[in-house]
Amino acid sequence: MARAMFEYTKVVLQKVSFNKDLFKKELEKAINRLLPYELKELYLWLKDFTHNKPSLQPCLAIIKN
């Protein structure tokens, strides 16, 4: 179940990446729902995903804390 939530989170974040505010809101939800090791994985995925999206890069600070 936990792995499914992680994959679902990535799909949702990809779909809302057109809007920085929605992206931030969904990321905050994910932080509350995912397990600690999944948050580390999500951080690495976000780092790669936002590499060419400068407007979303500040969201990395949310998950790093």
34, 42 contact by CB (below 8 A): yes
Domain boundaries, the chain: 2-64
Residue 5, amino acid: M
Write the CA distances from 25 to 1, 9, 32, 39, 56, integer angstroms.
22, 12, 11, 15, 12
**What was the pLDDT predicted at 65?**
64
**What was the pLDDT predicted at 2?**
59
Mean pLDDT by 10 residues, the chain (65 residues): 85 95 95 92 94 91 81
Q: How much is the pTM? A: 0.89
